[in-house]
Amino acid sequence: MTILEKIKNGLIVSCQAMEDEPLYSSYIMAKMAKAAESGGAVAIRANGYYDIKAIKAEVNLPVIGLIKKKYPGYKPYITPTIDEVDKVIQAGADIVAIDATKLIKPGDITTAEFFNTIKRKYPEMLVMADISTYEEGVKAYKLGFDLVSTTLAGYTDYSRKSDQPDFELIQGLAEDIKIPLIAEGRIWTPEQAVKAIELGAYAVVVGTAITRPHEITKYFVEHIKKGGDDLFRNKMASY
Ligand SMILES: CC(=O)N[C@H](C=O)[C@@H](O)[C@H](O)[C@H](O)COP(=O)(O)O
C-alpha cells in the first residue's frame, strides 16, 4: 500500500510540543505517537528533527514532518527553507509539510520557487502544502504538490478567523483540487472530524484536542466556569 492509500479516510494525530509547553520532549512526543498508534491513528504529524527521529523509532506509521523556525523579517515558519527540509528528510519523515501561503519566504523566494527546489533535490519525496485560503490551495495543486492541508487557515493575517474548523474551505478545496485535501486546524470533536470527511477531506489531522493536555484542561475549566456562571445567574434569577 502506498502512503497515500494508508492515510485515506483516517485520523492523523499531530504530536507537537513547543519549547514553552509542559510536554516539550522528544521522549514524550514519541510516547504520544505510540498512544495515537494504539488508538488507530493512520499517521503522525511531528515538528523538529529529534521529535521526528524519536517518533519514527517508536511507531510503525507514516510521519508528516515539519520544522517550525522563525526567520527575522519573514512570516512563514513551517519548514520555511531548504535547510529545514533537509533536516526533516534526514530525520526520516515520509512526507514533508511546508508553508505554501502567498507569503514570501526567507531568501525572498516564492512558494513556487521553493517547491521546485525541493522537487529537484528530492524528486520522490511527498510534499504537503500548508495553506490558509482557497486560492493558496488551488495554486499549490497547480504547482504539483502531493497533498494540500488547511493547516494555516485562520493563522495568516488575511485568512478567515474562527474558533471552529474552516468547513467552507475544506469543502471548497476538496471539490476543486484533484489531490488529497487534508482537513487540519481546530478540530476538537469526532463529529467535526466526520463532517470534514463527509465534505470531501481525504484525512483529518487532530493535534491540540488529543496531544496538548494543558489546552484540553483549559477547555474543560472554561466550560465549567461558564456553565457555573450561567447556573449561578439562573439560581439568582429564581429568587
Ligand atoms: C497553525 C500551526 O502552526 N499549526 C501547527 C502545524 O503543524 C500545529 O501547531 C497544530 O497543532 C496542527 O496544525 C494541528 O492543529 P490543531 O492543534 O488545531 O488540531
Q: What is the pLDDT of residues 162-210, one digit of tens each?
A: 999 999 999 999 999 999 999 999 999 999 999 999 999 999 999 999 9
Atom of ligand 1 nearest to the CA of 45: 7
CATH number at residue 14: 3.20.20.70
Cα dihedral value 146, 99, 194, 18, nearest 10: 130
What total number of domains does the chain contain?
1
Residue 49 near residue 57 (C-beta atoms within 8 A): no
| Nearest C-alpha neighbor of 89 from the set 131, 114, 130, 118 | 118
Rounded to two decimals, the pTM is: 0.96
**221-150-13-209 Cα dihedral, nearest 10 degrees:** 10
CA dihedral 154, 127, 192, 20 (to 10 degrees): -60
Give the mean pLDDT of the chain: 96
Q: Which three cell numbers stand for residue 9?
A: 479516510
Q: For residue 231, is pLDDT > 70?
A: no
Would the pLDDT of 228 be above 90? no
In ligand 1, which atom is closest to the CA atom of 209?
A: 19
Helices (H) and strands (E) in the chain, counts: 10, 8
Is the pLDDT reported for residue 238 higher than 70?
Answer: no
pLDDT 10s digits, 62-115: 999 999 999 999 999 999 999 999 999 999 999 999 999 999 999 999 999 999
Mean pLDDT across 10-38: 98
Full residue range of the structural domain in which residue 214 is found? 3-237
- Of 12, 14, 103, 159, the residue with max ligand 1 atoms within 8 A of its CB, to mutate for a pocket test, comes to 14
Site residues for ligand 1, CB cut-off 6 Å:
14, 16, 66, 151-152, 155, 184-187, 205-209
State how far the Cα of 137 lies from the Cα of 3, in Å rounded to an integer. Answer: 21
Pocket-testing residue among 16, 78, 187, 204, ligand 1, by greatest number of atoms within 8 A of Cβ: 16
Q: State the Cα–Cα distance between residues 222 and 230, nearest whole angstrom.
A: 12
- Name the residue with the closest Cα to ligand 1, atom 3: 152
Please give the pLDDT value at position 26.
98
State CA 105 to chain mean position distance: 19
Q: What percent of the chain has pLDDT over 70?
A: 96
Asked if the model's pLDDT at residue 233 lies above 80, the reply is: no
| CB of 135 closer than 8 Å to CB of 100 | no
To the nearest whole percent, how much of the chain has pLDDT over 90?
94
